[in-house]
Amino acid sequence: MQTSFIKGHYDSVVVGAGHAGCEAALALARTGFKTALLTLNLDNIAFMACNPSVGGTAKGHLVREIDALGGQMGIVADKTMLQIRMLNRGKGAAVQSLRSQTDKNYYHREMKKVLENTPNLEILQCEASEILTESGKVTGVKTTFGSILTAKTVILCTGVYLNSKVLAGEWVQNAGPSGFAPANELTKNLIDLGFEVRRFKTGTPARIDARTVDFSACEIQEGEQNVYPFSFLTERVPEKQQPCYLTYTNTKTHDIIRANMHRSPLYNGEIIGTGPRYCPSIETKVERFADKERHQIFLEPEGADTNEIYVQGMSTSLPQDVQEEMYRTIKGLENCRIMRYAYAIEYDCINSLDLLPTLEYKKIEGLYSAGQLNGTSGYEEAAAQGLIAGLNASLKMRGKQELVLRRDQAYIGVLIDDLVTKGTNEPYRIMTSRAEHRIFLRQDNADFRLTEIGRECGLVDDYRYNLFNDKKQLKEKLFEQLNALHPSKEMKDIVVEFGGNPPNNGLSFADLIARNIPINVIKERFNAFEGIPQDLLDNAETDIRYSGYLEKELKEIEKAKKMEEKRLPNDIDYHKIEGLRLEARQKLSEIRPLNLGQAGRISGVSPADIAVLMVYLKK
């Protein structure tokens, strides 16, 4: 029989050192709490098991928000980027998103170094086997070694490692991503604690040797220099960047896939987990879009110190012999050599409806959950949840009100509200279409939205806060210049040049921008805005261009805030409220919303039910 022993006493224990665990542990340690970070293997800290990239549509917004609150992901992503681009350039500013290709090994090393050198933080390689509780409160964590780490709060960030299984054709292995060991002990304990556990699935493509790729047969995808970085602390993106390449599948590729569909675990019943709708395997794409003759394939470097190329768009669980055949049908890959085969991975996760908007588990005080364990996909979604869970555990231990970001405050608020109010039946991915206030929730204004909040929570340090205040003063100075009136004589030529009617009265530079005259043209023509950085000019230009929409948006936000401010007592017995429909009673009892705003977003709760609740609150 194994003997238990006390390893140490901590304020908090974070289980798992992926992107969620790293942010959670740093948030706790940086706000003064003695924290233990447990990981199955020190070599998989902040490991990028799938594409070594950061950002993407809406995901770039999350990274900028994490950074604005005082998180770490954006800083490390900037330091380790191989290439960066702004997606959706041809669309409005609200949906433009940063995406960088990242050096996978460098990212891991850099984040590990940050963690190792953070005061109050200890890292321990071990497997958690049990979450310890007493009288409905968390008391610590027990490991498979028999060691016990006592704690006031625990944050679960287990990623895709719980009972994980990888599959490719007939080959099946109980393992985590990239051959790392799985975590086999914790799921039973979570079920015993009352969590609803479900099975999800994701996958990854093959990695091929760059020396065996004919890049001249592909379309080159260069990076950009005229973009801002992820972190508000980083001055500029690197000048020297590595290219990515674009190629396509073809009818021959699709014929091979169709001929071997019966060998895919996705279609022969071997995989039981639910996969991501928005990042489907190549088998699913060929089956779902049978009319398409080709699909985009991006060839992306995994790092500066390796020849491995990530074949984005070719995620598959087909067997290795089929992979060899189908990859070589693609233009530029005719002679490619596979270094790591593609695979699907199944894992255990929880029902996110079991969580409060603070990410605390409803049934056990002090126990939080973040990342892919909550049913999400993506490094950015995980990091955002880890940051909020870590901050809330810290705030709870300080006796302060915990942080719940509203949907009008941040994409992080949209992400968490979707999870804890609507739930998810598939791996959740953030998208700009999920945010009803996306014109307001832009990448370029994340610091103006969130840095003050991060400061109040104790995570934004003096250096970052001083830079932010300097930027605020510059913005005030800029808008003084933008709103100052100038004689019509000075404005007439430029207005006419851009197709407008000559003004009768003086105009401001803001008026010119509202007439679709670019701010950089105004800057050059009038020798204006000296000392104002480009990102602030772009921010101001967007604010002015969208001012009419923003005013309407702010009115809607104010209406929504009134509903969010109407708190619902924790002890309401919804089954006893007359006038509520049966479905509403069941859903409200299950989710137990914090306020009327959240209640109104629950599927199955109608406006009439909200009216009944409002009458009940008045009584």
The per-residue pLDDT for 4 is 86
| Residue 58 C-alpha from the chain's centroid | 8
CB 163 within 8 A of CB 184: yes
The per-residue pLDDT for 145 is 95
The per-residue pLDDT for 283 is 93
> CA triplet 416, 53, 369: central angle to 5 degrees?
30
Locate the DSSP E strands across 242-336: 244-248, 296-301, 308-312
Measured between alpha carbons, how far is 49 from 422 in angstroms, rounded to an integer?
28
Percent of the chain clearing pLDDT 90 (strictly above): 87
Which CATH class name applies to 207-346? mainly beta
Please determine, for residue 272, whether its predicted confidence score (pLDDT) is greater than 90: no
Instruction: Using alpha carbons, select from 202, 179, 98, 46 the residue that is nearest to residue 443.
Output: 98
Tokens linked to 523: 């800057």
pLDDT tens per residue, range 198-219? 999 999 999 999 999 999 999 9
Mapping DSSP to helix (H, G, I), strand (E, B) and coil, where does residue 405 land?
coil
The per-residue pLDDT for 276 is 80
Q: Checking DSSP bridges between strand 343-350 and strand 197-204, what pairing results, if any?
A: antiparallel
pLDDT tens per residue, range 328-361? 999 999 999 999 999 999 999 999 999 999 999 9
Please determine, for residue 614, whether its predicted confidence score (pLDDT) is greater than 80: yes
Query: Which residue type sits at 548?
Result: G
Give the domain ranges of the chain: 5-201+349-456, 207-346, 469-555, 566-618
Percent of the chain clearing pLDDT 70 (strictly above): 100
Phi/psi region, residue 49 (left: phi>0; alpha: psi -120 to 50; beta: rest), is alpha
Please determine, for residue 617, whether its predicted confidence score (pLDDT) is greater than 80: yes
Q: Specify burial of residue 108 (Cβ count, 10 A radius: 0-12, 13-18, 19+).
A: buried
| Residue 196 C-alpha from the chain's centroid | 23
Q: Band of the pLDDT at 113, cuts 50, 70, 90?
A: very high
* 139, containing H or E segment: strand 137-143
pLDDT tens per residue, range 50-95? 999 999 999 999 999 999 999 999 999 999 999 999 999 989 899 9
More confident: 33 or 274: 33
Cβ neighbours around 362 below 10 Å, total:
16
Predicted TM-score of the model (pTM): 0.95
Average pLDDT, the chain: 95
Tokens linked to 378: 């993506």
Q: Specify burial of residue 601 (Cβ count, 10 A radius: 0-12, 13-18, 19+).
A: middle
Instruction: Using alpha carbons, select from 83, 426, 93 the residue that is nearest to residue 278.
Output: 426
Max Cα separation, the chain? 91
> CA triplet 529, 532, 533: central angle to 5 degrees?
135
Measured between alpha carbons, how far is 310 from 317 in angstroms, rounded to an integer?
16
Q: Specify burial of residue 136 (Cβ count, 10 A radius: 0-12, 13-18, 19+).
A: exposed
Q: Band of the pLDDT at 1, cuts 50, 70, 90?
A: low
The architecture that CATH gives domain 469-555 is Orthogonal Bundle (1.10)
Q: Band of the pLDDT at 505, cuts 50, 70, 90?
A: confident
> CA triplet 550, 433, 68: central angle to 5 degrees?
65
Mean pLDDT to the nearest integer, 124-149: 97
Tokens linked to 269: 């019943």
CB 592 within 8 A of CB 612: no
The architecture that CATH gives domain 566-618 is Orthogonal Bundle (1.10)
Task: Tell me the angle at which helices 104-116 and 73-80 cross, rounded to the nearest 10 degrees.
Answer: 140
Fold agreement between 5-201+349-456 and 566-618? no
Classify domain 5-201+349-456 at the CATH superfamily level: FAD/NAD(P)-binding domain (3.50.50.60)
The per-residue pLDDT for 501 is 85
| Residue 515 C-alpha from the chain's centroid | 36
- Which alpha helices (H) appear in 31-157, and where do they start and end? 59-68, 73-80, 104-116
Cβ neighbours around 525 below 10 Å, total:
14
Q: Buried (b) or exposed (e) across 493-505, using 16+ Cβ within 10 A?
A: ebbeeeebeebee
Q: Band of the pLDDT at 280, cuts 50, 70, 90?
A: confident
Please determine, for residue 541, whether its predicted confidence score (pLDDT) is greater than 60: yes
Among 284-293, 434-443, 557-566, name the one with the lowest average pLDDT.
557-566
Mean pLDDT to the nearest integer, 556-585: 90
CB 115 within 8 A of CB 121: yes
Please determine, for residue 278, whether its predicted confidence score (pLDDT) is greater than 80: no
Query: Which residue type sits at 279?
Result: C
Please count the residues of the chain: 619
Instruction: Using alpha carbons, select from 35, 26, 46 the residue that is nearest to residue 379.
Output: 46
What are the contacts of 145-150 at 24+ separation with CB within 8 A?
A: 146/2, 146/3, 146/4, 146/5, 147/4, 147/5, 147/6, 147/7, 148/4, 148/5, 148/6, 148/7, 149/7, 149/8, 149/9, 149/10, 149/13, 149/36, 149/38, 150/6, 150/8, 150/9, 150/10
pLDDT tens per residue, range 10-19? 999 999 999 9
Measured between alpha carbons, how far is 144 from 126 in angstroms, rounded to an integer?
7
